[in-house]
Amino acid sequence: MQLSLTEARLPLRVRLFPNKEWVLLIVIVAEVVVYGITGTNFATLGNAFEITRLSVEIGLLALALTPVIVSGGIDLSIGSMMGLSAVAFGYFWRDAGLPIPVAIVFTLMIGMAGGALNAVFITRFKFPPLIVTLGTLSLYRGIAEGVTGGVQHYSGFPAGFLHLGQGYIGGHVPTQLVVLALVALWSAWSLHRTGAGRALYAIGHSAEGARYAGIPVARRLATVYVLSGAAASLAALVYVAHLGQAKSDAGTGYELMAITAVVLGGASIFGGRGTILGTLLGLFSIVLLQNGLRLTGQPAELSGILVGVLLIGTILVDVFTQHAATRAAPSPTATEQPDVRNSQVAVLSAVILLGALIVAASNWVLVNSLRHDLRGGPSMTAASPGATATHRTLIAMMPKAKGDPYFISAHKGADSAAAALGVDLLWDGPTDLDAAKQNEVVEAWITRGVNAIAVSVENREAISTVLRKARERGIKVVTWDADAEANARDFFVNQATPEGIGNTLTDEAARIMGGSGELAIITASLSAANQNEWITFIKLRLAAKYPRITLVAIQPSDGDRDRAFAETQTVLKVHPKVKVVMAIAAPAVPGAAEAVKQSGRKDVKVTGLSLPNMCRPYIKSGEIESIVLWNTMDLGALTVRVAQALASGELGAGASTLDAGRMGSFQVVGSEVRLGLPFIFNRTNIDRFNF
């Protein structure tokens, strides 16, 4: 009675934000003000809704994770469960032929079953949640990869289902936002307003104490983990509807983003503290930051650094205000807490100073880029045929992965072409292969209002809807390197068809092998769409033309040079008769070559798809016989030229050639601009190329 009286007298600030979530509110307001002024079309209603659309999947995970963390646990398996659920949903709908609603119910049951497995280990066997879910993180993703063989994916879902992830309600509100809002309201009510929800706080403070107080600890905890599995399945459904495709890699790494949102929102990782409102604030402060960086054209890598500083900053504020509180009103526990020492204050100041420096640095970058825009603007227009006097053409170009050396070289070519043509180039995209991120970036570009968008497509079904939306808004759309659906873009800059690549690679390998023997392939990741398509054509070509060549192994490298190295070593030992190792991911070729070199085997040659600079030493020393590729710098440059010609109206439907200045003229077939045939780099010509 006494307690409830004092609680009622607490100021609103404390009741609403028990864990100082108001700090986040300040951060959010600051972000809105800064980006509203500096960003293009940041502070618009449309952008507000787009931002929330992108945060739904992570938001659902974060909402489910909040009660888990409040109860003192953690669930790392939710991202993997998304992958498993996506694949399961595709299976139920397509292979088992179930109607969509039934498939949805079954998928949610898979999620609950996965959550139940976690719950059994945690509540029945009393294992630490961190370790249990670390194991199931591996297990669930592994099952998803195992049953699909990494290759299989599901698409072609009916429009009614896709509406869940791509449609609008009432013309403005993204459908999945309603799902998020409903789940948020329900979680807030059940966590803060029901006995079972309040019990979680007691369990988080002290499970043993909660048990003595008559709370069924095991049952409450089990419920929480089952619900978190179900929420992961729900997030997977939204994800599939959003991208139009179900694959085993759905939700990779999402668990860490969800944890970040929850912890930023004031939940204590030790349990007993945390609110749904805080989680939502944490979520939006991260999403706003990423979107704002994009619309102001600052490097997206800053977001990781700033989120890190924000995370540590918020818990520091928390720790120190608590220290202050305990000193002001000494309680029995206060004596056990070490006092704040001068050294600690010094450390705190240093950390704050570091944070301030980073923020200052980011502003410096921002100011510099603005100055560059202002200065570079008028002077260059004379040289640019396409730009109007007041407004330079802005071309936004996206690679599949920014860190990939293949795309880094394309970026170089694109940059020089943009400078020569007098257009502005915006280069942004996912850091690693990530179809959902590609959509996010395109959405930001539409909001920002660029003149042309050029995308190297990671996932055909996933990106086409958003590209069509860009075209509706009058933005010219080009695809390069990998195509989207034909009606989603104006032109496709085609460097080579998957069939052409597969055939060239196979013919080259067969030439080296003399038409017979054993061949091994080192691919990227097992679920990489491009590589799997090439492998299909390689197999077809082998069957049709080279019956005496046997493909003995296909091993993954995950785009990691060291992994390719280790896999090649094993392949060479298990299949000692292998004559050629064909590596079909850029970093895998030098990895495989180093393995051959260190094995001392002179009778094994490496070929594959990679970049000249990376492979040069090995081509010269003889481990790599040849690599197949096109001139990636030219590809980047040609893409910028096509985008610029489209934006200026120079290139339209029905054209048959395109003049690209220094690079010469290119053939246009239908809506495809052809770069030319794949090129074979070997010892004789490698020195003519530098990319």
Partner 1 sequence: MSALLSRMSRRHAREAPPTAALGIVLIAMGVVAPSFFSAGNLRDLALNNVAVMIVALGMTLVVLTGEIDISVGSQFAVCSVAAGMLAKAGVPIMLVPVFVLALGVLMGALNGLLIGMLGLPSIIVTLAMMVAWRDTLRWTTDGAWIQDLPANFQWFGMSPEAAQLMIMAVGVALATSGAWALRHLALGRRVYAVGADAEAARLAGIDPRMVKFGVFATTGMLVSIGAMLNAVRFSTVPSNAGIGFELQAVAAVVVGGTAITGGRGTILGTVIGVALLGAIGTALTYVGIGPFWVKAIQGLIILAALGGDALFTRLARRAHLPARAVVAH
Residues that contact partner 1, how many (by CB under 8 A): 82
Nearer to partner 1 by Cβ, of 412 and 511: the residue is 412
* Burial class for 316, CB neighbours closer than 10 Å (0-12, 13-18, 19+): middle
Decide: is 594 part of the binding site for partner 1 (CB under 8 A).
Answer: yes
Residue 610 C-beta: closest distance to partner 1, Å: 12
Looking at residues 619 to 678 of the shown chain, list those that interact with partner 1 (rule: CB under 8 A).
none
Helices 612-621, 588-599: axis angle to 10 degrees equals 20
Token digits for 602? 């002179």
Residue 79 C-beta: closest distance to partner 1, Å: 12
Decide: is 135 part of the binding site for partner 1 (CB under 8 A).
Answer: yes
Nearer to partner 1 by Cβ, of 166 and 303: the residue is 303
Instruction: Please select the residue that binds partner 1; options are 23, 70, 112, 137, rule is CB under 8 A.
Output: 137
With contact defined as beta carbons under 8 Å apart, do 237 and 100 qualify? no
E strand map for 235-283: 245-246
Name the pairing type of β-strands 665-669 and 672-674.
antiparallel
Closest of 596, 524, 530 to residue 555, by C-alpha? 524
Looking at residues 290 to 329 of the shown chain, list those that interact with partner 1 (rule: CB under 8 A).
299, 301-305, 307-309, 311-312, 315-316, 319
Decide: is 146 part of the binding site for partner 1 (CB under 8 A).
Answer: yes
Residue 365 C-beta: closest distance to partner 1, Å: 10
Residue 524 C-beta: closest distance to partner 1, Å: 12
Nearer to partner 1 by Cβ, of 588 and 647: the residue is 588
Closest of 668, 535, 523 to residue 585, by C-alpha? 523
Looking at residues 66 to 125 of the shown chain, list those that interact with partner 1 (rule: CB under 8 A).
74, 121, 125
Looking at residues 241 to 270 of the shown chain, list those that interact with partner 1 (rule: CB under 8 A).
256, 259-260, 263, 268-270
Query: Quick count: other Cβ atoms within 10 Å of Cβ 623?
Result: 25
Nearer to partner 1 by Cβ, of 564 and 651: the residue is 564
Q: How far is the CA of 212 from the CAs of 70, 202, 216, 220, 611, in angstroms?
A: 19, 11, 9, 14, 66
Distance CA 628, CA 609 (A): 5
Nearer to partner 1 by Cβ, of 319 and 677: the residue is 319
Instruction: Please select the residue that binds partner 1; options are 31, 50, 57, 145, rule is CB under 8 A.
Output: 145
Distance CA 79, CA 412 (A): 35
Nearer to partner 1 by Cβ, of 384 and 525: the residue is 525
Q: How far is the CA of 392 from the CAs of 384, 388, 418, 516, 659, in angstroms?
A: 8, 6, 11, 57, 21
Nearer to partner 1 by Cβ, of 197 and 266: the residue is 266
Distance CA 70, CA 272 (A): 5
Residue 526 C-beta: closest distance to partner 1, Å: 6
Instruction: Please select the residue that binds partner 1; options are 222, 243, 571, 585, rule is CB under 8 A.
Output: 571
Backbone angles phi, psi at 338, to 5 degrees: -65, 140
Decide: is 614 part of the binding site for partner 1 (CB under 8 A).
Answer: yes
Looking at residues 21 to 40 of the shown chain, list those that interact with partner 1 (rule: CB under 8 A).
none
Which residues does 207 contact at the CB level (< 8 Å), separation at least 6?
Answer: 72, 217
With contact defined as beta carbons under 8 Å apart, do 281 and 310 qualify? no
Instruction: Please select the residue that binds partner 1; options are 28, 181, 351, 352, rule is CB under 8 A.
Output: 351
Nearer to partner 1 by Cβ, of 102 and 131: the residue is 131
- Contact region for partner 1 (CB under 8 A) — 10-18, 343-351, 486-494, 533-541? 343-351
Looking at residues 418 to 437 of the shown chain, list those that interact with partner 1 (rule: CB under 8 A).
431
Nearer to partner 1 by Cβ, of 70 and 162: the residue is 70
Instruction: Please select the residue that binds partner 1; options are 590, 612, 636, 678, rule is CB under 8 A.
Output: 590
Instruction: Please select the residue that binds partner 1; options are 9, 12, 101, 126, rule is CB under 8 A.
Output: 126
Nearer to partner 1 by Cβ, of 174 and 429: the residue is 429
Looking at residues 507 to 526 of the shown chain, list those that interact with partner 1 (rule: CB under 8 A).
526
Name the pairing type of β-strands 605-608 and 624-629.
parallel
Decide: is 403 part of the binding site for partner 1 (CB under 8 A).
Answer: yes
Nearer to partner 1 by Cβ, of 43 and 319: the residue is 319
Nearer to partner 1 by Cβ, of 304 and 652: the residue is 304
Looking at residues 545 to 564 of the shown chain, list those that interact with partner 1 (rule: CB under 8 A).
553-556, 559-562
Instruction: Please select the residue that binds partner 1; options are 16, 218, 352, 408, rule is CB under 8 A.
Output: 408
With contact defined as beta carbons under 8 Å apart, do 425 and 482 qualify? no
Nearer to partner 1 by Cβ, of 526 and 647: the residue is 526
Token pair 């292969």: residue:
433
Which residues does 235 contact at the CB level (< 8 Å), separation at least 6?
Answer: 56, 57, 58, 60, 61, 78, 82, 251, 254
Residue 127 C-beta: closest distance to partner 1, Å: 5
Look at residue 613 and give its three-state secondary structure: helix
- Contact region for partner 1 (CB under 8 A) — 199-207, 336-344, 369-377, 468-476? 336-344
Distance CA 322, CA 20 (A): 11
Residue 651 C-beta: closest distance to partner 1, Å: 30
Nearer to partner 1 by Cβ, of 34 and 553: the residue is 553
With contact defined as beta carbons under 8 Å apart, do 199 and 212 qualify? no
Query: Quick count: other Cβ atoms within 10 Å of Cβ 622?
Result: 14
Distance CA 353, CA 355 (A): 5
Backbone angles phi, psi at 168, to 5 degrees: -125, 150
Residue 567 C-beta: closest distance to partner 1, Å: 8
Closest of 547, 499, 333, 532 to residue 433, by C-alpha? 532
